[in-house]
Amino acid sequence: ISENFLACLDAHQVDPAREGNTCWCTIDIPMAEIFGCRSRDAFDGDVIPGFRSVLIIRNELVDGHTEYVVWTRAFGKSAIVRRRFRDFLTLWKNLKKLHSPMPSLPSKNILFWRNLDKQFVSKRQERLERALRDVTRCPQAAQTKLFADFLGIPAQSDWGCASNVSQQLGSARRLGDKPTTLHP
C-alpha cells in the first residue's frame, strides 16, 4: 500500500475497512500497464487512471467466520471490501460461466476449527490473493461488472476496451455488501 494512501488514512483517522469511512486519494497509471487496452482518445505517453493492484491486506475472525479485507486500486479509485470465503466461491462460479478456464481457489474447509487456525487462514489468504491477481491478468474476466462489484470498484464499460462479457452479466448474482470506496 502506498505511503500516500496510508498518510491519507492517518490524517483522517479512519479505518478504511469499516463501512462509511472515506478517504481522498488519486493515482495515475501508464496505459501500458492496463491489460494492453488503449483509450480511444489516448496517445503514446499519456497517463490515464487504470487497474493497478489488488491485495488482501488482512483477515479477521468475525462471528465465527473469517473475513478477508480486500484492497483494490483501480480506475482512479481505491476501495476496501470485506469478503468471506464463500463470496470468493460465488465469484468463481459466476466467472467460470462467463470465462473458462479460471485459476483455482483453495478448497473449502468443512472443519470449523481449521478456520480458526491462524496458519491455515494465512495460507488461504495468500492463495486467494494470488487467484485475484491471476484474474486481473485475464481481461475477459477482469473487465466484467461481476469482478468490479466484488472488488468494489467502478466497471470498465466507459473505457472503450471492455469486452462484451460485462453485458452478459444481467443474470449473474450480484455479490453482497457495499464497499468502502476511497474516491479520487
What pLDDT, on a 0 to 100 scale, did the predictor assign at position 171? 30
Cell of 26: 488519486
Q: What's residue 74's pLDDT?
A: 75
Enter the C-alpha cell of residue 63.
462471528
Low-confidence residues of the chain, pLDDT below 50?
A: 1, 13-14, 19-49, 158-184
Measured CA to CA in angstroms, residue 84 lies from 13, 78, 119, 145 at distances of: 26, 20, 17, 19
Give Cα 183 distance to the centre of its chain: 15
pLDDT at 84: 95
pLDDT at 103: 75
Break the chain into its structural domains and give their ranges.
Answer: 3-182
- Chain centre distance of CA 10: 23
For the domain 3-182, what is the CATH code? 3.30.1520.10
C-alpha 92/C-alpha 62 separation (Å) is: 23
pTM comes to 0.58
- Per-residue pLDDT at 51: 62
Report pLDDT for 6.
Answer: 55
For residue 117, give every residue at least 6 positions away whose Cβ sits within 8 Å of its Cβ, in sequence order, or none. none
